[in-house]
Amino acid sequence: QVLLVESGGGVVQPGTSLRLSCAASGFTFGNYGMHWVRQAPGKGLEWVAIISSDGRVTYTADSVKGRFTISRDNSRNTLYLQMSSLKAEDTAVYYCAKRDFQQWLDYWGQGTLVTVSS
């Protein structure tokens, strides 16, 4: 069965960096585009970034552009989100999600909490 497991969250100070990982199994990882979606405490879902199946094409939300970078290692079946210059408003649970035939998200990880606080 499809399994997505995020890791790397924690409590960090404003202005610092953090890298999230998402380990994928149960499907041919290299065949699918992948997304990061976040959810601030008590709030709704916010799309963060997408990467194509081969890693060549990426897009990020304007709210994180220039600070967050999505990448993947298909040999390790792992998705990454490199976050830098973190702000308090980046505090959220970060989910990785697999796209299906089009950009609906058919499988989600359990999420990892990032807290940006001094």
Partner 1 sequence: EIVMTQSPATLSVSPGERATLSCRASESVGSSLAWYQQKPGQAPRLLIYGASTRATGIPDRFSGSGSGTEFTLIISSLQSEDFAVYYCQQYHRWPPLTFGGGTKVEIK
| Residue list 68-97, contact with partner 1 (CB under 8 A) | 95
- Minimum Å gap between C-beta 106 and partner 1 is 5
79 token code pair = 């998705």
Work out whether 35 is an interface residue with partner 1 (CB under 8 A). yes
The three state secondary structure string of 39-74 is: ECCCCCEEEEEEECCCCCCEEECCCCCCCEEEEEEC
Work out whether 45 is an interface residue with partner 1 (CB under 8 A). yes
58 token code pair = 């990426």
- Strand duo 112-116 + 10-12: pairing: parallel
| C-alpha span between 35 and 61 (Å, rounded) | 11
- Minimum Å gap between C-beta 59 and partner 1 is 4
Work out whether 44 is an interface residue with partner 1 (CB under 8 A). yes
Q: Interacting stretch for partner 1, rule CB under 8 A, among 26-34, 44-52, 67-75, 83-91?
A: 44-52
Residues that bind partner 1 (CB under 8 A): 35, 37, 44-47, 50, 59-62, 95, 100, 102-111
